[in-house]
């Protein structure tokens, strides 16, 4: 009789590579949107996979799709249901309930997927949130600017990767900002059918940015890390660098972990990983930006493994199987950092310096997503970044210096558009 499968929702290449050899061969049933399977050409890519037993095409972002899936596959009997992407979290949470395995809980997943609802729930729990309103057009944004002087952040309530997000400083910018932000195409990563447009305007909070990655089992924190952030300059709040651990005083680390625990408790999140983003304002208060009920992207999971000497993905899968993971460290043994490679708008003629970057001490990954002929019209979201460099060292500051040095050696040569 075949082993009970792990049902993974959403295709994430680095995660599946990391699990190959760690999880039994043929133990994964992968669920992905039919449009995404087609656009990313997944069937040929997975044809030789030792890990993936079956690829099931399913429109998992539609309402009721988890119950429909369970009705169509009542005997699948997975040992775990694991979401890897943002838009799959409600489907995975509900499916876990239907199959009787650990999960976030549908209620928690739905709260975390809607930034407006998360604001209400977390504020009721006493957590600091920026002033925020739902907006339906430029007139609403201008009215919020009048009521809330200073910069505001215009953002969707239900998207990922800083898609459709922009800082607005002046009422004269609002019309163009609205036009820019409601264009939210994520290309090959999402199905072709339209997604509901729901926008927020929020008071801009200046301050240092962090994220907390917390492994949760039975509503209890089993591991927590604080990642430091750097952003690209300009009106688009897209992340330029991640530093693990953040290299901040222990008191601030404890505060950020504590407020993340309070988000977990307020939402009723049961089992899984949360990736919770915070801005520590000039007043020293952590303000909630957003919180995702899934693994962190941008290579943060790999940075955690390097800095702490752990295998966090394996621990995550153990929790989702209902197992007790090995005890995880409370402190990092070293540091690791990711730095994204910058480029100007234009058409790529050549990418040079990759080998020099790979030769920098401590660098363990140089990954460029652009090549000759690629057209770049400017940074709009995280999906537009050219690539990244990752490095490790004895401490996070040195890891960041190494990553910055290597990223600086990569040159993207452009020709006029």
Q: Residue 79's domain is classified under what CATH number? A: 3.40.50
- Find the mean pLDDT for residues 311-326: 95
Q: Is 267 found in the same domain as 253?
A: yes
> What pLDDT shows up at residue 377?
85
Q: How many CB atoms lie within 10 A of CB 162?
A: 21
Q: Is residue 112 part of a domain?
A: no
- In the predicted model, is pLDDT for residue 365 greater than 70? yes
Give the span between the Cα atoms of 384 and 377, in whole angstroms. 9
Give the span between the Cα atoms of 219 and 367, in whole angstroms. 36
Domain coverage including residue 391: 335-417
- Find the mean pLDDT for residues 325-347: 94
Q: Is residue 113 part of a domain?
A: no
CATH code for position 173 = 3.30.1490.20
- In the predicted model, is pLDDT for residue 284 greater than 80? yes
Q: Is 329 found in the same domain as 219?
A: yes
Q: Is 325 found in the same domain as 211?
A: yes
Q: Is 219 found in the same domain as 140?
A: no
Which of 290, 316, 5, 345 lies closest to 132 in space, CA to CA?
290
Counting the structural domains of the chain, the total is 4
Q: Is 376 found in the same domain as 267?
A: no
Q: Is 342 found in the same domain as 223?
A: no
Q: Is residue 294 part of a domain?
A: yes
**Could you say which of 153, 186, 203 is where a domain stops?**
203
- In the predicted model, is pLDDT for residue 206 greater than 80? yes
- In the predicted model, is pLDDT for residue 417 greater than 90? no
- Find the mean pLDDT for residues 134-156: 93
CATH code for position 307 = 3.30.470.20
The model's confidence at residue 1, banded by pLDDT at 50, 70 and 90, is very low
Written as six digits, the tokens of 42 are 């997944």
Q: Is 209 found in the same domain as 323?
A: yes
Q: Is 252 found in the same domain as 168?
A: no
| DSSP SS3 for 331 | coil
């Amino acid at each position: 009789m075949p082993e009970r499968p792990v049902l993974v929702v959403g295709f994430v290449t680095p995660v599946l590579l990391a699990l190959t050899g760690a999880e039994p061969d043929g133990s994964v049933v992968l669920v992905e949107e039919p449009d995404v399977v087609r656009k990313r050409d997944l069937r040929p890519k997975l044809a030789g996979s030792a890990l993936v037993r079956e690829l099931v095409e399913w429109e998992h972002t539609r309402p009721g799709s988890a119950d429909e899936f369970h009705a169509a596959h009542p005997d699948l009997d997975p040992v775990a249901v694991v979401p890897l992407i943002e838009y799959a979290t409600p489907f995975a949470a509900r499916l876990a309930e239907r199959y009787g395995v650990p999960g976030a809980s549908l209620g928690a997943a739905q709260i975390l997927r809607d930034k407006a609802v998360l604001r209400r729930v977390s504020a009721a729990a006493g957590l600091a949130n920026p002033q925020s309103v739902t907006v339906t057009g430029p007139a609403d944004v201008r009215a919020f600017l009048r009521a809330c002087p200073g910069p505001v952040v215009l953002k969707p309530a239900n998207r990922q990767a800083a898609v459709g997000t922009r800082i607005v400083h002046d009422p004269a910018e609002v019309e163009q900002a609205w036009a820019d932000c409601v264009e939210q195409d994520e290309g090959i990563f999402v199905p072709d059918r339209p997604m509901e447009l729901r926008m927020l305007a929020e008071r801009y909070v200046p301050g240092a940015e962090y994220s907390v990655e917390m492994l949760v089992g039975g509503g209890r924190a089993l591991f927590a890390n604080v990642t430091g952030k750097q952003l690209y300059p300009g009106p688009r709040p897209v992340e330029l660098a991640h530093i693990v651990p953040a290299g901040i005083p222990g008191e601030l680390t404890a505060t950020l972990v504590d407020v993340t625990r309070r988000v977990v408790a307020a939402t009723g999140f049961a089992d899984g990983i949360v990736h919770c983003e915070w801005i520590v304002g000039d007043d020293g208060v952590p303000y909630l930006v957003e919180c995702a009920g899934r693994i962190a992207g941008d290579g943060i999971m790999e940075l955690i493994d390097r800095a702490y000497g752990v295998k966090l993905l394996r621990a995550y899968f153990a929790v989702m199987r209902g197992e007790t993971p090995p005890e995880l460290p409370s402190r990092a043994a070293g540091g690791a950092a990711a730095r994204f490679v910058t480029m100007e708008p234009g058409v790529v003629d050549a990418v040079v310096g990759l080998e020099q970057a790979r030769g920098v001490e401590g660098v363990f990954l140089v990954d460029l997503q652009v090549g000759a002929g690629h057209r770049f019209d400017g940074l709009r979201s995280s999906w537009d970044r050219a690539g990244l460099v990752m490095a490790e060292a004895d401490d996070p500051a040195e890891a960041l210096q190494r990553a910055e040095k290597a990223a600086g050696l990569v040159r993207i040569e452009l020709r006029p558009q």
